[in-house]
């Protein structure tokens, strides 16, 4: 049986699990602080872990911010706050179930501490990584301990200096999208832009929409808030002339699956993950690149330039990527 740890930040980690799980031949138990996602197969067990980032009663009984509880062990870890009952309970839950259910393989997406813990429990450990400059002590520890490392993007696309010493254990699966293999719509709307997610500050978004509208573009914003969230963005992705998106791994994989002309705006993330990805997309002529300081006029100019692009998204290797990750997790790939 497989255990699978899913980090609670954002929706990318759980989206990746939902894409890969149907390709697994082995039963899996998921562990996360997130609630059980809609659409997960009924026979997949979901263990809800207690949170470990909330204030707790410290040694004096007063509320303690976990950021003040030496969470990095003097820079050697990313998150292990001293005395936090939630942190201790979530690791205890993983250990208890690993023993009771005889877990053989444990997938970690993502946490350096859980990688180390799973390997100390004697499980074959699969670490999912992300782009960026991940050469810090915690990532180095996780990479050294992992039996297999999953890099969910195209090999050679994004520089990953932290992975170079471990190349023989890295599986470059290509981008993993929940939309892989889905049929396209029959037509593309002319001069339609979709703004995907909270990719722009409200004032910048509003001015950009006004400028685009003045130039004859139809603009749709989805996911900027709860009211604009949609369960299935696929029809909009495939009908739009240009999509404006963040440069996160799942967003980029969805752009590749939908063969979208795109402008990607790198968000500020740890280890410069999105800046590294955006630079790779620009280098491979797969998308136009901007950063969070882009002005409305510059963004409109990028969108109009992108509308004439012909990105070769096959290079991102989305087709079959979820199956390749499942095979790597189960040891069916060399």
Domains of the chain: 2-176+319-329 (3.40.50.2000), 192-315 (3.40.50.2000)
Residue range 136-154, pLDDT digits in tens: 999 999 999 999 999 999 9
What's the pLDDT score for residue 186?
A: 66
Neighbours of 302 (CB within 10 A): 21
What's the pLDDT score for residue 185?
A: 75
Choose between 318 and 60: higher pLDDT.
318
For the chain, the average pLDDT equals 95
For the residues 243-261, what does the mean pLDDT come to? 96
What's the pLDDT score for residue 302?
A: 98
Neighbours of 6 (CB within 10 A): 25
Among the listed residues 234, 237, 242, 223, the one whose alpha carbon sits nearest the alpha carbon of residue 287: 242
Q: Is the pLDDT of residue 188 over 80?
A: no
pLDDT confidence band for 129 (50 / 70 / 90): very high
Please tell me whether residue 165 adopts helix, strand or coil conformation: helix
For the residues 40-46, what does the mean pLDDT come to? 96
> Worst-scoring range by mean pLDDT, 10-14, 24-28, 308-312?
10-14
Choose between 160 and 303: higher pLDDT.
303
The alpha carbon dihedral of 169, 175, 178, 184 has a sign of: negative
Omega within 30 of 0 (cis) for the link into 110? yes
Tell me if the pTM is above 0.75. Answer: yes
Q: Is the pLDDT of residue 187 over 80?
A: no
């Amino acid at each position: 049986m497989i255990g699978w740890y899913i980090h609670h930040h954002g929706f990318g980690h759980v989206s990746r699990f939902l894409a890969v799980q149907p390709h697994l031949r082995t039963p899996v138990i998921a562990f996360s602080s997130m609630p059980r996602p809609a659409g997960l197969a009924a026979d997949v067990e979901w263990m809800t872990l207690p949170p470990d980032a909330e204030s707790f009663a410290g040694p004096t009984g007063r509320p303690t911010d976990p950021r003040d509880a030496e969470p990095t062990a003097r820079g050697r870890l990313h998150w292990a706050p001293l005395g936090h009952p939630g942190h201790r309970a979530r690791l205890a839950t993983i250990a208890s179930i690993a023993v009771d259910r005889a877990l053989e393989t444990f997938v970690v997406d993502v946490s350096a501490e859980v990688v180390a813990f799973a390997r100390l429990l004697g499980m074959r450990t699969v670490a999912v990584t992300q782009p960026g400059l991940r050469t810090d002590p915690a990532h180095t520890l996780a990479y050294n301990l992992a039996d297999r490392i999953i890099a969910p993007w195209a090999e050679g696309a994004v520089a990953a200096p932290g992975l170079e010493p471990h190349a023989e254990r890295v599986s470059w699966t290509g981008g993993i999208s929940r939309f892989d293999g889905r049929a396209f719509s029959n037509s593309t709307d002319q001069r339609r832009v979709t703004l995907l997610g909270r990719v722009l500050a409200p004032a910048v978004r509003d001015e950009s929409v006004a400028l685009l509208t003045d130039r004859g573009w139809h603009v749709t914003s989805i996911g900027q808030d709860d009211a604009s969230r949609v369960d299935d963005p696929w029809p909009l992705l495939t009908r739009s002339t240009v999509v404006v998106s963040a440069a996160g791994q799942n967003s980029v994989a969805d752009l590749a699956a939908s063969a979208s002309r795109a402008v990607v705006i790198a968000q500020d993330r740890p280890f410069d993950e999105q800046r590294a990805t955006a630079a790779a997309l620009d280098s491979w002529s797969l998308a136009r690149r901007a950063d969070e300081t882009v002005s409305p006029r510059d963004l409109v100019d990028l969108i109009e330039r992108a509308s004439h692009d012909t990105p070769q998204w096959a290079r991102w290797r989305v087709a079959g990527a979820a199956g390749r990750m499942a095979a790597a997790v189960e040891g069916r790939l060399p």
